[in-house]
Amino acid sequence: MATQKNKQKQVDVEETISKTESFIVKNQRMIISAFVAVIVVIAGGFSYKHYITDPQEKMAAEAIFRGEAYLGKIILRKH
């Protein structure tokens, strides 16, 4: 009885592996496309931050600094 259950479990495992393999072979192109799409999105996010937002933040910080310095000079002149 126990050996029959073990054989049944082994057959079920083999059948599951076989189904998984056939699914992967059947949908290999879609799986690879999805993986590449995820990589492209992640790389695009890093590139956007590095090449677009970081330089803009630097320019904005410089502009704010100049404005604050100018405002400080105006306030000091009034007193």
Residue ranges covered by each domain of the chain = 2-78
Q: What is residue 25's predicted lDDT score, i.e. its pLDDT? A: 93
The first and second tokens of residue 40, run together, are: 């492209």
Average pLDDT over residues 10-32: 87
The first and second tokens of residue 70, run together, are: 């100018």
Q: What is the mean pLDDT of the chain?
A: 86
Q: How far apart are CA 6 and CA 10, in angstroms?
A: 6
Q: Give the DSSP letter of residue 1.
A: -
Q: Is 31 in contact with 24 (CB distance < 8 Å)?
A: yes
Tell me the per-residue pLDDT of 53-66, one tens digit each, with 9 for 90 and over: 999 999 999 989 88
Q: What predicted TM-score, i.e. pTM, was given to this entire model?
A: 0.59
